[in-house]
Amino acid sequence: MKERKKQKKPMTGGEVESAKKEPTRHLEKEAFQLANYYFVFQGIIFTAFYHASSHVKCDHRWVPMTLSALDGILNACALLRIALRYKTSLDDADTGAGHDNMCQRSWRCFYVIVCMTFVIVFLVVTLAGCWVVSCSTDTLSPDTD
């Protein structure tokens, strides 16, 4: 039996547009998935460590702090890489379509900076929380004064 070659029919305008958007959708999905894994990992670290006895928490507070720092730095770098690839793919798509808009490129750059700032602020707050909360004995009990 001879196999027939499947001939690809020409794509319509909507299919071409959808094919161009596929890489950006994949990058969006990858970024959200990575951010969600980061938040879950932070939750696991805090849940496991803060259910330990207070002596262990205070003497070994470097453990959650180190895990949070390593995880946060790796995630920030990975998210930055994804964000830059996302921005580049959108800029390339605009250039390929003949829409080279510098204002839109500037907004995308601003958006990447703002998002990365939030990631870094969350990392700093998490690290400060690891240091302060781990030895504090009265943070979870109501004030009885």
Amino acid 134 reads S
Q: What is the mean pLDDT of residues 65-92?
A: 89
Mean pLDDT of 65-71: 88
Please say if the pLDDT value at position 138 is more than 80.
no
- The tally of CA atoms less than 13 A away on the side-chain side of residue 65 is 16
145: pLDDT confidence band, cut at 50, 70 and 90?
Answer: very low
Q: Are 34 and 42 in contact (CB under 8 A)?
A: no
DSSP-derived secondary structure letter, 10:
P
* Phi and psi, residue 123, nearest 5°: -60, -45
On whether the pTM is more than 0.85, the answer is no
Q: What is the pLDDT averaged over residues 106-116?
A: 89
Tens digit of each residue's pLDDT (9 = 90 or more) over 8-34: 555 455 554 565 677 778 888 888 898
State the pLDDT confidence band at 118, using cuts at 50, 70 and 90: very high
Per the model's pLDDT, the better-predicted residue between 37 and 92 turns out to be: 37
pLDDT reported for residue 9: 55
Dump the DSSP string for 31-97. Answer: HHHHHHHHHHHHHHHHHHHHTS-HHHHHHTTHHHHHHHHHHHHHHHHHHHHHHHHHHHHHHHHHHHT
Question: In percent, how much of the chain has pLDDT > 90?
Answer: 14
The mean pLDDT of the chain is: 77
Residue linked to tokens 């700093």 = 124
